[in-house]
């Protein structure tokens, strides 16, 4: 039973993390190749705080805030650089994060932080908390998608210049997307730290950023449920299949590439196509 709980907790945290990126990349069309840095920011914030005997639940909003503040600045950067340049910038932020964490004793340096205290729940209780937060954000995401904000995001993803000629303040919307998407990654990071009880610079590197992007793109950018499904699946693969664990970067970037090549809309668009084909044939 313990094993199943671990598996489900991992899944749930990954879904939350992926939905955070989906908010930025899927909804608003802003690519990020450094999203693991925000997961890491949240994880370190929370771990350092509980080490200082601050209750875990209080560290959740704190982690959201530190990651969200960092996200705010990336949001500002996204006003200056677009598309591929934004991908490179965010990738740089990811490397910078790992670099800084690695150098500072305050963050545990190369060794990271181990012996993170228990969140104060049973393993099952912790799982329920993870699921609750993930569901909460999933429903929030679908609500946003149907709101006027969702329309504006879609329009920005489609064409920023047109969106501004329609009188819309694109900058505000983009920054909002970054702040929300990165705060959520921060919360996921806090959960992650207290799930594994150990974090180190390597937990939040480029591989993690690529895998979460793969989850979003393979699910189908913007589609909340498809992204959740692909995140659930891809997050546990390395635990189930040794090969995937050994060749993570190769595996995820291979998947990412083939998806972009053969079905740019991700699984969501494959399902959609199958549906319409079925309707046609029936």
Binding stretches for another protein (CB under 8 A): 144, 146-149, 151-152, 154-155, 157-159, 161-170, 172-173, 176
**Residue among 140 and 198 whose Cβ is closer to another protein:** 140
CB of 144 to another protein, least distance (A): 7
Task: State how far the Cα of 180 lies from the Cα of 11, in Å rounded to an integer.
Answer: 21
CB of 210 to another protein, least distance (A): 26
CB of 146 to another protein, least distance (A): 6
Task: State how far the Cα of 23 lies from the Cα of 221, in Å rounded to an integer.
Answer: 9
Q: Which DSSP string do the residues of 39-68 spell out, in sequence order? A: HHHHHHHHHHHHHTT--HHHHHHHHHHHHH
DSSP 8-state symbol, 277 = H
The candidate with the shortest Cα–Cα distance to 174, out of 28, 43, 281, is 28
* Token couple for 10: 């991992």
How many residues comprise the chain? 282
CB of 153 to another protein, least distance (A): 9
CB of 147 to another protein, least distance (A): 5
CB of 50 to another protein, least distance (A): 32
Q: Is 135 exposed, middle or buried (0-12, 13-18, 19+ CB in 10 A)?
A: middle
**Residue among 29 and 238 whose Cβ is closer to another protein:** 29
**Residue among 106 and 148 whose Cβ is closer to another protein:** 148
Cα maximum dimension of the chain: 65
CB of 17 to another protein, least distance (A): 22
**Residue among 56 and 173 whose Cβ is closer to another protein:** 173
- At a CB cut-off of 8 Å and minimum separation 6, what does 17 contact? 35, 39, 184, 185, 188, 189, 192, 212, 231
Q: Are 179 and 22 in contact (CB under 8 A)?
A: no
* Phi, psi dihedral angles at 199 (to 5 degrees): -135, 150
CB of 227 to another protein, least distance (A): 18
**Residue among 179 and 196 whose Cβ is closer to another protein:** 179
Q: Is 167 exposed, middle or buried (0-12, 13-18, 19+ CB in 10 A)?
A: exposed
**Residue among 151 and 275 whose Cβ is closer to another protein:** 151
């Amino acid at each position: 039973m313990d094993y199943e709980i671990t598996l489900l907790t991992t899944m749930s945290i990954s879904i939350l993390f992926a939905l955070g990126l989906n908010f930025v990349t899927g909804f608003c069309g802003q690519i990020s190749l450094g999203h693991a840095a925000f997961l890491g920011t949240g994880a370190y914030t929370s771990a350092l705080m509980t080490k200082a005997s601050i209750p875990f639940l209080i560290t959740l909003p704190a982690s959201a805030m530190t990651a969200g503040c960092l996200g705010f600045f990336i949001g500002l950067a996204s006003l200056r650089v677009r598309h591929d340049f934004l991908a490179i910038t965010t990738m740089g932020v990811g490397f910078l994060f790992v670099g800084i964490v690695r150098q500072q004793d305050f963050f545990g340096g190369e060794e990271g932080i181990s012996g993170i205290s228990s969140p104060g729940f049973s393993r099952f209780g912790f799982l329920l908390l993870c699921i609750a937060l993930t569901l909460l954000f999933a429903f929030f995401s679908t609500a946003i998608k149907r709101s006027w904000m969702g329309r504006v995001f879609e329009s920005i993803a489609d064409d920023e210049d047109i969106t501004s000629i329609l009188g819309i303040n694109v900058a505000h919307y983009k920054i909002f997307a970054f702040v929300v998407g990165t705060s959520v990654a921060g919360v996921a990071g806090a959960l992650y730290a207290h799930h594994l009880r150990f974090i180190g610079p390597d937990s939040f590197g480029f591989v993690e950023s690529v895998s979460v992007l793969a989850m979003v793109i393979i699910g189908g950018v913007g589609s909340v449920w498809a992204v959740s499904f692909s995140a659930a699946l891809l997050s546990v693969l390395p635990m189930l299949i040794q090969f995937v664990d050994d060749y993570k970067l190769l595996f995820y970037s291979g998947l990412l590439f083939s998806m972009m090549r053969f079905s740019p809309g991700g699984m969501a668009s494959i399902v959609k196509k199958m549906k319409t084909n079925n309707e046609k044939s029936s």
